[in-house]
Amino acid sequence: MTGTAQSLPPPPRTAATLPGALASPRHRFTAEHAFRALCLAALTLPLLLLVVLFADALRDALPRLNWDFLTSYPSRRAAAAGVLPALVGTAYLMALTAVIAIPIGVGAAIFLEEYARPGRLTGLIEINISNLAGVPSIIYGLLGLELFVRVIGLGRSLLAGAATLALLLLPMVIMASREALRTVPHSMREAGYALGGDRWRTLRLVTLPMCLPGILTGIILSLARAIGETAPLITIGALTYVAFVPDSLKSAFTALPIQIFNWVSRPQPEFHVNAAAGIVVLLALMVALNATAIWLRMRLQRRRYW
């Protein structure tokens, strides 16, 4: 704190004295601002739409949303009809589909990523799997009708429905699992090999634990998509009026989307209320599935930090 230092004038700090190029562009409308606004609109619009749709369904559904609705069988009288067979059918269907699709899908992904030699055949298989993911679901329904219902002779059973849905999900599960496997850096596998691990042990102890959250998320998101599938189930002949809960794999069944479809297509407006209530139940199931996916991922990710 010498006298000379104190006597120095303070450095000019005001924006007015700065050359224009250095002045803060705070008051200028830039391309970035426009882009940001656009992105925000892109985010809000679908969200708003979703909220409006859900609120509309909920308002229509309210008179019918009660415990009886969940525990009653369908009826010719709209006020007495419920979704029990459809709800149980959907639950069984999802569980069975998962049991079929997960081992096959994850296994195929592991083979393609970890064991298959990259070559023309592998490339061909990859392209086909990607294409299969884009095939309309009704085509899978036709395949399921011919293969599972008729050739294999499962009939219009729960098992045939689950097998058809599993077929529909397989490309998605395979692709999601492969993506997850690819996120594991090659250096991790090398570290496993360098520590005397063979392919199997390295996969089991190093690679799979690292990509498990990704695989699980992919599986659950695929299931969440399958829960709303209607076309393939109608194609293979799932019933629209079921007055019983399925009791075996060979049992006839119905599912929530089919029940909703059935109610919507009736002329009486009372059944449309039932349809709205069914939609709310289906949405709640879907949200529950997605929430499970998020919860699982967070739980598993707490153990890793890279």
Partner 1 sequence: MSILLPRGLGGRQPSLAPAAKSDAAVPGDPPAPGGGREKMRTENLRAWFDTSPALKGITLPVSEHRITAIIGPSGCGKSTFVRCLNRMHEVVPGARVEGTVLLDGIDIYAPTVNPVLLRRHVGMVFQKPNPFPTMSIRDNVLAGLRLSREPTAGADDIVERALRQAALWDEVKDVLHRSGVSLSGGQQQRLCIARALALEPQVLLLDEPASALDPIATQKVEELLVELKQRYTILIVTHNLQQAARIADLTAFFYMGELIEFGPSDELFTRPRDPRTEAYVTGRFG
118 near partner 1, judged by CB under 8 A:
yes
Cβ closer to partner 1: 33 or 201?
A: 201
123 near partner 1, judged by CB under 8 A:
no
Which residues are bridge partners to 182 per DSSP?
Answer: none
From 12-20, 128-136, 217-225, 298-306, give the range in contact with partner 1 by CB under 8 A: 298-306
Interface of this chain with partner 1, residues 187 to 246, rule: CB under 8 A: 187-188, 190-198, 201-202, 205-206, 209-210
**E strands, 83-235, in order:** none
Task: Kindly report the number of other CB atoms within 10 A of residue 113's CB atom.
Answer: 19
Locus of tokens 């989307």: 257
Give the up-direction half-sphere exposure of residue 215: CA atoms within 13 A in the CB hemisphere: 24
Cβ closer to partner 1: 120 or 303?
A: 303
Q: Which residues of 30-69 are buried (b: 16+ CB within 10 A; e: fewer)?
A: eeeeeeeeeeeeeeeeeeeeeeeeeeebeebbeebbeeeb
Of 29, 67, 115, 306, the one binding partner 1 (CB under 8 A) is 306
Interface of this chain with partner 1, residues 49 to 108, rule: CB under 8 A: none
Task: Kindly report the number of other CB atoms within 10 A of residue 142's CB atom.
Answer: 15
Helix (H, G, I), strand (E, B) or coil at 123: helix
**How far apart are the C-alpha atoms of 306 and 301, rounded to whole Å?**
10
Give the pair of three-digit tokens for residue 215. 């695989």
Closest contact distance (angstroms) between CB of 120 and partner 1 is: 15
Closest contact distance (angstroms) between CB of 188 and partner 1 is: 6
Cβ closer to partner 1: 33 or 304?
A: 304
Closest contact distance (angstroms) between CB of 109 and partner 1 is: 19
Count of residues touching partner 1 (by CB under 8 A): 24
Locus of tokens 């691990």: 197
Cβ closer to partner 1: 146 or 190?
A: 190
Tell me, what DSSP letter sits at residue 11?
Answer: P
Question: Which residues would be at the binding site for partner 1 (CB under 8 A)?
Answer: 117-118, 185, 187-188, 190-198, 201-202, 205-206, 209-210, 303-306
